[in-house]
Amino acid sequence: MMEKTSVADGGARGRAIAARVEAFVREVIVGYERDPRWGAHGPSAEMVAEMRAAARERGLLTPHILADGEHLTHRETALVLRAAGLSPLGPVAVNVAAPDEGNMYLLGRVANAAQKARYLAPIVAGSARSTFFMTEPAADNGAGSDPAMLLTTARRDGADWVISGRKWFSTGADGAAVGIVMAKADEGATLFLVELPHPALRIERVPQTIDSTMPGGHPVVAIDELRVTPEQVLGEVGKGLQYAQVRLAPARLTHCMRWHGACTRAQEIATDYAVKRRAFGQPLIDHEGVGFMLAENRIDLKQAELMIDWCADVLDSGARGTTESSMAKVAVSEALYRVADRCVQVMGATGVTRDTVVEQVFREVRAFRIYDGPTEVHKWSLARKIKKDYLKAMAA
């Protein structure tokens, strides 16, 4: 039997939900990992619907949002999303995957009642997927990690708005029913809601990427004279960057939560392999070169868990957590990459095959070091804050 890592402490409510999610993922969703409907751009719509039907039957669909609309605390969410992440398909199955989880969080805090009924409710119900149109192609010199470079425009035309531009790495856009578009108005960056598919939004291509978990891939999308009404403005005009921060800090952390679960599973598989596989007269784990890697993984996993919980506590205090989420994103993504890399190494040739999910986890976590801001961008931002804090202290 593989070593099973139980969910950690974080409140009775969170522990209870996480334990049920963990059981569901291990007993049901792990079996889908060899399903041929899981393709290069994520599981098919049919497969997603099937997994979500199973989650719904167990009362586990969208488990981080309670029946009355209340969200679990960030600390409780950490338990649930780590449990969901024990399979790369788990977050999709229980409807806590990116970008939907982050979009639900944003809409829940910024959308008005009518927008929640029209756009948020179907996502929470798991009957619709969503996408966030922010990042723009490098060839256009558009917004990437620096949203201030935004090129997509929104101009007024009577009471309506007309939006034009190009977006890429629009995760989940192929097959999404709800889109959040960031565009530059005269008043500043603004968010708009749109129902998809829409004739004014055309998918140019869906790039082949190193990861393959998120349904709909990461398309390049052309937006040509998209007309929206004032009722489709999310929040206030000109506050798009501010609202993006409402979403981005928690979303960085929930990425950490999900991939922590995946790397925990990879560690279980690598441990099982190292204990059972023999070489040079003894189990692999008894060779220091192998055993030490698994020990280092245990350390990295625990440090990453503590970093996640620390940042969750900051967000639960009501703080924006921009700096803390950047620190967590860097520390956790780099630690989890080391874990996944060592798991591949421990398993040797088997580790680079698709005989186990370890190879998949390695690819996904490698992408995680870039998604939601590359490590280097977060370090640059942190260095700027260090300088600012120093100069402020010197001037006091």
Tens of pLDDT along 284-324?
999 999 999 999 999 999 999 999 999 999 999 999 999 99
Instruction: Determine contact, residues 87/30, Cβ cutoff 8 Å.
Output: yes
Tell me what pLDDT residue 5 has.
Answer: 45
Residue 341 burial by CB count (10 A; 0-12/13-18/19+): exposed, middle or buried?
A: middle
Q: Are residues 380 and 275 in the same domain?
A: yes
* pLDDT, tens only, 227-255: 999 999 999 999 999 999 899 899 999 99
Q: Is the pLDDT of residue 210 over 80?
A: yes
Answer with the residue of higher pLDDT: 85 or 372.
85
Q: Is residue 110 part of a domain?
A: no
Residues 25 and 47 in one domain: yes
The predicted structure's pLDDT at residue 52 = 98
**pLDDT > 70? residue 3:** no
* Residues 255 and 385 grouped into a single domain: yes
Asked, for residue 42, whether it belongs to a domain, the answer is yes
**For every residue of 83-103, which 3-state class applies, written as one string?**
HHCCCCCHHHHHCCCCCHHHH
Q: Are residues 263 and 377 in the same domain?
A: yes
> What's the pLDDT at 10?
53
CA-to-CA separations, 315 to 75, 239, 251, 320, in angstroms, rounded: 9, 21, 11, 6
Residue 139 has pLDDT above 90, yes or no: no
Is residue 339 a part of any domain in this protein?
yes
Q: What is the DSSP letter of 119?
A: I
Whether the CB-CB separation of 353 and 359 falls below 8 Å is answered with yes
Domain boundary among 52, 72, 97: 97
Same domain flag for 66 and 164? no
User: Considering the domain boundaries, does residue 92 fall inside one?
Assistant: yes
Clarify whether residues 288 and 165 are in a common domain. Answer: no
Tell me whether residue 109 is in a domain. Answer: no
pLDDT of 157 strictly over 50: yes
CATH number of the structural domain spanning residue 222: 2.40.110.10
Is 389 inside any structural domain?
yes
Local confidence band at 389 (pLDDT 50, 70, 90 cut-offs): very high
The predicted pLDDT at position 150 comes to 94
- Number of domains composing the chain: 3
Domain boundary among 214, 238, 262: 238
- Asked, for residue 358, whether it belongs to a domain, the answer is yes
> Alpha carbon of 201 to those of 25, 181, 232: distances in Å?
35, 11, 16
- Among residues 76, 97, 118, the one where a domain terminates is 97
* pLDDT confidence bin for 7, thresholds 50/70/90: very low
Pairwise CA distance, residues 103 & 114, whole Å: 16
| pTM of the model as a whole | 0.94
Same structural domain, 154 and 287: no
Same domain, 376 and 297: yes
Mean pLDDT of all residues in 101-126: 97
Name residue, tokens 């790397």: 263
User: What mean pLDDT comes out for the span 160-184?
Assistant: 97
Its domain, for residue 326, covers 241-395
Average pLDDT over the chain, rounded to whole? 95
Query: Helix 322-346 to helix 288-316 angle, to the nearest 10 degrees?
Result: 160
Distance CA 24, CA 41 (A): 24
